[in-house]
Structure 1
Amino acid sequence: MRSSKPPLQRVVQLLARGAGVLLLIACTPKDALETPDAAPASTPDPQQAELEARLAYLEARLEEARVNAHVPGMAIAIVKNDELIYAHGFGVSDLDANTPVTPETVFAIGSATKAFTSTLVAMLVDEGKMGWDDPVTRHLPDFELQIDAADDAAAVTIRDLLAHRTGFARMGVLWAANTIARAQVLSYATKALPVAPFRKEFHYNNVTYMAAGEASAKAAGRSWEQLVQTRLLEPLEMTHTSLDYAAAQADPALSSGYTWRDELETFEPAPMRDLGAIAPAGSINSSVLDMAKWLRFQLNGGEFEGQRLVSAAALAQTRSAQIEIAPGVVDYGMGWMLHEWQGQALVEHGGNIDGFAASVAMLPDEGLGMVLLTNVGMTPLQASAHTLVFDALLTDAYFPQDEGSGEDFSRFVGKYAAELPGFEGQAFEVLVEGGKLAVDVPGQTVYTLKAPDDDDWRVFEQTDEVAVSFDEDEEGRVVALRLHQGGMDFELLREGVELAPEVDVAQVRAYLGHYRAETGMTVEILVHNGRLAVDIPGQMVFDLELPDSSGDYHFRAKYDLFLSFVMGEGKRAGEVVGMTLFQDGEPLSFTREPGKHRISLDELHRKRKTDRRKRAMDKAGLVLFEQRVELINSGVSGTSRIWFDSSGRLREESELGPLGGGLLILHPGSGEGSELHGWSESSFEPRKLLDGQLLDQALRDHPRVMFGDWRDHFESETVLRTDNDARGEVHVVELRSEGLPAVQIHVDAKTGDVIEIHAHALSAQGLRVPTTVKLSDYRKVEGMRLPFRVESSNPQTGTTVVTLDEVHANQSDEPGRFAPMPSD
């Protein structure tokens, strides 16, 4: 099955309408395998010989994948038919001490904890102490969420909490600092507003999951930790598993954690986070040997070593689909992701927390399961390790390759430009890795490819859910790479290739221009790569096929998505007046907008008086903003103060009451005219120096950029279009800087104010989180045009509203305000 699951970890949302030991050789310590009275060697068992060959192949592939994915150390365990068949450590648990990872090494398992919590609830359901559909208020009377439900009588149930379908954003600010108790976390959550209708969308939320764990504790009359310890860890003999930060830190087998900084090509230490505030959602620490017992229990339908701990029926509920994550691709149960591997049911869940990543996956019909634990905070191996395991054990992939077949890979090798969301300005590189064709995905890892299938698709060896193929021109030269994922077919042109024009601009000019839907969405029909194309804002430019016999233009990336143009009647006969876009069989109508003069950059800056804005900021000297901050989808409010000047210095202090606060400083270096440096610290993250892309991003987000002259801080600017909407006439401009994602800004044509920003926020792990910022209530203060209301939204945290209360110009320059990071 080919689906939209990672490794690419980006899905284009078209039109945005709104987942007994058979073998322990080289796996466990040598003394664990030796016995004083070993029996004489017997005739080799063909089945064991085959298993050894499969595992040897797998081990080599896992080590190759570990190196390519920049993972310092990891451990894996595999169970089959209620037996541990493989456990092995790779790499090191401490880069400084060079300590090797073993199957006994302890890692944080993060959100793989969630299945422990749902299993506890299943036990209590068996005992009649809880019901899957109990209102949560039956067990936690004060935990009443402000759901967005059409039915006023609708109530949040335990099932809703365990299935992430309440409609609330992540609320990470409530627990990241671990400064308040769980009851206080839940109290804050009741003040939060949802981001989606109740039971309509999947929205991952550790706080509401923790609430389910606390509800189980109330129903059982003991703490969640006591429940896990007595009902699961002890019966499963998981003696090297802990439930809290202190116990993990005291364990000499605990691995250190790291973050890989791709643009710097280095590892950074990532201190373990205390997850006590949301323990039922992610606090367990374990070894792969202990987790193998958990797998045996799960695959055995709730039974371990002849002892039944939970009924098979109740446990099966946790693996029943409760809500779609990606339609037809992956669903969520209760603590488990549910999809397929080669037509079989696949049950799996990952875990990510500072410095650690985990993957637990099972093929119940095969009685096969695996657990991978790593000491890096995020890795593509979470999505691909189970495929490596299943391919090695269940397919012919382990057979020695016929080196004599010798396909010439040289014609494929090269770089292919990616015009995909989140990859703008980057290139996928095709190369040869270990004698196999491979694709280096920017910011992720090198994915080796299988041999071409009957469709000439080369499936990623690490996951069967992504494949590539290659296009050739008439002379047999490779001109493009096609990426096949989740029913989409993305074309990446080889660097240096220019396609022969497919359409004549003069012949299609009648179709070019902007089209507006009743929903407010405006798209542009243009010529791109010599083809007719549609630019969907916030997504990408989609090239279109030539029209079919019905006059429909199908998307090259997804053939069942197509559009047709609407011709006028009467006096407008022969004129294109609109278009209809068909998605999933449903039409969306667009009206063509009158042609507009595309403003030049010089005209734009004259109209917005950019030079005057910059002079006003220079004249204001050191400026202080005093602001109120509301995280409306987390139920949190606080304050912030920002000192900044036009030279780029900045000090930002934020305070969120008992949840903690943060500090960000940008300061000049020691030499005359030296570049700016930066550092940050907060209750949520340890003190760290800003460098690479993180520093570039902080400099780009400085107030002087959008409120002054952005030309000083971006390498290029392009006017994309001019829209007419409820705000009036708006110019859309794209800004680019090397090494950072492009930024689109919407400029009010009348005032010249920046009223909307579309960007991708970068994390240290390399994630690019799409972010939208809306700026309004502009006022003139000390000659500066400033927005007194700023709304920033992203899929993870929801919306943050910042209200500017006071502006103070020409502040005194107190010593130490922009000090470099302390060395202690």
Structure 2
Amino acid sequence: MHKAKDFSLGYEYNFDTKETRNLPTREISAIAPAGAINSSANDMAKWLRFILSGGVAGSKRIVSEKGFGEWLKPQMKITPNGSVSYGFGWFLQEWKGKKVVQHGGNIDGFNSMVAMIPEEDLGFVMLTNVSASTLGNDLMEIVWSGILDQEKSKPLTAQELKEVGKYTITQAGIDIEVAVEDGKLVAKVPGQPTYILEKTKDRKYRLGGAPEGFYITFNDTEALLEQPQGNVTIKKKAAENVAAADGDNPAKELIGLYESEQQKGMTIEIKDVAGKTSLVVGTQPPYGLVNKEKDLFSAPPLPDAFSIKAARDDSGKITGITLIQPQGNAEFKKIEKDSIKAGIDLTIDELITKMVEAQGGEENLKKITNREVAFEQDWINQGVKGFGKAFQASPGKSSSETTLTALGKKIGWIRSYFNGKNGGDEYSFGRDEIYTGIRLEDAKSQNDFYQFFDWKEKFEKAEITRKDKVGDEETYVVSFKPKTANAFTLYVSTKTFLPLRRISLAVSSTSPQTIPISDVYSDYRNIDGIMIPYKTVTTNPGMGDIITTIKEIKQNVKIPASVFEKK
């Protein structure tokens, strides 16, 4: 690539330090089969035409029709319901009932996306010189809707939603109702058709479909109805005026707690934040919900490609929501209020005390000052296995090094380290990462050797939210919010009081994305008076399941300080 006169430099943006830095070009021949190709927009456009032509280049067929069909056919499910699947090297999903074929690429300083809707003979290629950009996913919605949507209405603004309510024509004794239908403001007059309000300027609207000369101009307490037979001031009813604090937002009906159908234990919440019905996901800022049409909401400042759709039962009751997003939809089931606190028969103080006792008790736990663990791994969805060692030391140090193998041969290694203050990740096949910002705070919290000692000083909030099951075993679901790190959730057995599952978020300083991580613990064994799970199944949407099995544990051994430092 560097032989070209106009080759591109790659960059990385750090969301914590707000710095942009140029990244050196990395030698990637070891992973060349994964796509070590340097290309241009012109060449990629030719590639796109080849695919949209069904395997034909110019007038010559390169791939048989049968082979081409297999190439773009689902071979495995990515989401349990099959809404996102994988073909031979393609992610397959849908956009408004149309098949989308896409795949992105990412390497130090560069990011790309190739995406198509073959039935519409439509596709695009995006090449950008920054790591881990979300532009590819954002552009899919922009391109598809911009070209294929006949009419794309913008979400109503907060000011426009203020007009919603009932207005009384005192002289006639009737009410005009201003409401939202299909993402548009409408006026409903008894005995007349519904009028779509067409904005002319500021807060003045024309009554679409009415004869010429009918307009309505709003202020906060009343509106002026202009009509050929004479203008009338109509008063806004007080009850609706109060409701309009959140624009009389239909999103209020969605308020509640929701659990992921694909990733049990991961929850999101829709609640009132400063008078605005908002979607709250982990430690991300709240996203105020704006009604687009019945049961469909946008969430500014997220791009239009992201929206929330309500699910109802036959009686019209809200049963869940679907997060509509370019990378695949995510379904969430509403947790009913009555079941949230049902059966909780002890306080958070009592539960944490029992959990510490179940793990060996404070006295025994304090006797252990460090730990060396030999382990094996099976990355069952990747066809990869691994082995290595992990080290922990009080008060908050850790490191691990994993050798990865495929078909019995070494293919690479991963190393993580944290010295109590600073840390990072090192790879044989990727760019090293230094922890900063929230990622650094997460490392401090997660590596606390005695995390639940003096827990009231470490956590901003801890509460038992409900009961649930891990497999067949009943658990208390406990939410923890450290003072400076991301929240996490523990599922603690109601029988043994041992943690059976942990839900947390993986974050990066150089990517805006957060990834939900689930760890399921089993095969607890007593080692030096301490209960330790010998098996952990870690699940994340990108890698699938990784099974880690402990082969040997040594405690209170000599561990060099250099183990916890960058190599």
Query: Normalized against structure 1, the TM-score is what?
Result: 0.44
Quick one: distance in 2 between partners of 1:710 and 1:804? Answer: 31
Q: Is the 8 A contact 2:445 2:482 kept in 1?
A: no
Deviation string 1:426-451 (CA, Å, 9 cap, x unpaired) is xxxxxxxxxxxxxxxxxxxxxxxxxx
In the TM superposition, residue 632 of structure 1 has moved relative to its aligned partner by 4.8
3-state SS of 1:770 partner: strand
Q: In 2, distance between residues paired with 1:599 and 1:666?
A: 36
Counterpart in the other structure of 2:440: 695
**Alignment-derived partner of residue 641 in structure 1:** 390
One-letter amino acid of the structure 1 residue matched with residue 134 of structure 2 = P
Number of the residue aligned with 1:383: 137
Task: Compute the displacement of 1:364 (Å).
Answer: 4.7
1:456 is matched with 183
Matches of 1:278 and 1:777, distance apart in 2: 36
Supply the distance in 1 between the matched residues of 2:242 and 2:457 (Cα, whole angstroms): 46
Following TM superposition, by how much is the alpha carbon of 1:637 offset from its aligned partner in structure 2, in angstroms?
3.4
Relative to 1, partners in 2 of residues 1:368 and 1:337: Cα closer, same or farther, differing over 3 Å?
same
Q: Which runs of 5+ in 2 are unaligned?
A: 163-178, 186-239, 255-267, 278-308, 323-330, 332-338
Shift of residue 678, structure 1, vs aligned partner: 1.9
Counting only pairs closer than 5 Å after superposition, residues 799-810 of structure 1 correspond to structure 2 as 799-803=546-550, 805-809=552-556
Partner-residue secondary structure (3-state), 2:396: coil
3-state SS of paired residue (2:431): coil
Q: Is the Cα–Cα contact under 8 Å of residues 507 and 514 in structure 2 kept in the other structure?
A: yes
Q: Is the 8 A contact 2:384 2:404 kept in 1?
A: no
In structure 2, distance between residues paired with 1:769 and 1:253: 36
Q: Which amino acid aligns with 1:631?
A: D
**In the alignment, does 2:515 pair up with 1:769?**
yes
1:281 Cα deviation from its structure 2 partner: 4.0
- For 2:273, what is the secondary structure of its paired residue? coil
Taking the aligned partners of 1:329 and 1:345, their CA distance within structure 2 comes to 10
Deviations 1:633-667 (A, max 9, x none): 1342312030411x213343444473343433322
Deviation digits for residues 48-96 of structure 1, max 9, x if unmatched? xxxxxxxxxxxxxxxxxxxxxxxxxxxxxxxxxxxxxxxxxxxxxxxxx
- Counterpart of 1:373, as a letter, is L
Query: Are residues 1:664 and 2:432 paired?
Result: no
The secondary structure found in structure 2 opposite 1:638 is strand
Q: Which residue of 2 aligns with 1:682?
A: 427
CA-to-aligned-CA distance 1:689-716 (integer Å, 9 cap, x gap)? 2111221222232262557565554321
1:288 corresponds in structure 2 to: 41
Could you tell me which residue of structure 1 aligns to residue 346 of structure 2? 599
Higher fraction of helix: 1
Structure with greater proportional strand content: 2
Secondary structure at the counterpart of residue 255 of structure 1: coil
Shift of 1:456: 0.9
Percent identity, please. Answer: 26
Alignment partners' CA distance in 2, 1:553 and 1:259: 46
User: How big is each residue's C-alpha offset from its partner over 1:213-253, in whole Å with a ceiling of 9 and x where there is no partner?
Assistant: xxxxxxxxxxxxxxxxxxxxxxxxxxxxxxxxxxx455554
Q: Secondary structure at the match of 1:715?
A: strand
Give secondary structure in 1 for the equivalent of 2:416: strand
Within 5 Å, which residues of 2 pair with 1:451-530? 455-456=182-183, 475-478=243-246, 480=249, 482=251, 492-497=270-275
Contact persistence 1:411–1:477 (CA under 8 A)? no
Q: Is the 8 A contact 2:54 2:68 kept in 1?
A: yes
Distance 1:635 1:345 in 2: 31
**1:624 Cα deviation from its structure 2 partner:** 2.9
Q: 1:379 Cα shift? A: 2.8
Comparing both chains, which one has the higher relative contact order based on Cα–Cα distances under 8 Å and sequence gaps of 6 or more?
A: 1
1:127-526 counterparts in 2 under 5 A? Answer: 248=1, 251=4, 253-267=6-20, 276-277=29-30, 279-311=32-64, 314-319=67-72, 333-337=87-91, 346-364=100-118, 367-389=121-143, 409-410=158-159, 455-456=182-183, 475-478=243-246, 480=249, 482=251, 492-497=270-275
Size of the aligned set, in residue pairs, is 426
Shift of 1:338: 5.1
Cα distance, 1:735 vs. partner?
Answer: 0.8
Rate the CA distance shift 1:318–1:775 in 2: closer, same or farther, 3 A: closer
The alignment's C-alpha RMSD in Å is: 4.7
Residue 537 of structure 2: aligned partner: 791
Q: Counterpart of 1:524?
A: none
CA distance in structure 1 between the aligned counterparts of 2:314 and 2:41, rounded to whole angstroms? 55
Residue in structure 1 matched with residue 478 of structure 2 by the alignment: 733
1:650 aligns with 2:398: yes
Residues 626 and 640 in structure 1, CA contact (< 8 A), matched pair in contact too = yes
Q: Is the 8 A contact 1:481 1:492 kept in 2?
A: no
Task: Write out per-residue CA displacement over residues 19-48 of structure 1, whole angstroms, 9 at most, x where no aligned residue.
Answer: xxxxxxxxxxxxxxxxxxxxxxxxxxxxxx
Relative distance call for 1:709 and 1:650 in structure 2 (3 A) is farther
On the 8 A contact 1:705/1:713 being kept in 2, the answer is no
Counterpart code for 2:38: N
**Which SS does the other structure have where 2:321 is aligned?**
coil
Pairing 1:625–2:372 present: yes
The residue number in structure 1 matching 2:213 is none
Quick one: distance in 2 between partners of 1:709 and 1:638? 34
TM-score normalized by the length of structure 2: 0.61
